[in-house]
Amino acid sequence: EVQLLESGGGLVQPGGSLRLSCAASGFNFRDYAMSWVRQAPGKGLEWVSSISGSDEVTYYADSVKGRFTISRDNSKNTLSLQMNSLRVEDTAEYYCVKEFEYLDTLDYWGQGTLVTVSS
C-alpha cells in the first residue's frame, strides 16, 4: 500500500524558513518522480515543484522559484521541500504527491501538512 506522510508544517513569520519532509513507502521510491502541491485556505490546488526519480531534475512554479528547493533522498525514501523567504501568500496545506508518468497523472497524495505564514 502506497503511503506518503508529510511533516514539518507550522507557524512561521514572513521572511522565515521551514523545511517539509515526506516519508514514502509501499513503492519503489527511486523509480518515480515526486511533486509538492498546495492549497491555500478557500482556494484551489496549485502545483509547487517536482523532482524526477533517479537523475533528480527539478522544476518549480514561478511563484516559488528562487525561494523553495525540492530534494529527495532515495536511500531513505524521503522527499523534502526547503522553503525560504516565506510570504503570507505561501500559507497553505502542502501535499506530497507521487507521479505516475506512464499515465501522466498524480496518483497518490499524502494527507498534507499545514504551513501558516503570519506575524
Partner 1 sequence: SSELTQDPAVSVALGQTVRITCQGDSLRSYYASWYQKKPGQAPVLVISDRNNRPSGIPYRISGSSSRNTASLTISGAQAEDEADYYCSSRDSSGYQWVFGGGTKVTVL
Q: Which residue among 29, 35, 68, 81 contacts partner 1 (CB under 8 A)?
A: 35
Nearest to 15 by CA among 109, 83, 72, 99: 83
Choose between 75 and 102: whose C-beta lies nearer to partner 1.
Answer: 102
Residue 87: CB partners within 8 Å, gap ≥ 6? 14, 117
- The Cα–Cα gap between 78 and 75 comes to 8
The answer to whether residue 114 forms part of the interface with partner 1 (CB under 8 A) is no
C-alpha cell at 27: 513503492
Helix (H, G, I), strand (E, B) or coil at 102: helix
Q: Which residue among 29, 68, 94, 108 contacts partner 1 (CB under 8 A)?
A: 108
Q: Which residue among 47, 74, 82, 116 contacts partner 1 (CB under 8 A)?
A: 47
Which residues sit at the interface with partner 1, rule CB under 8 A?
35, 37, 39, 44-47, 50, 59, 61-62, 95, 100, 103-112
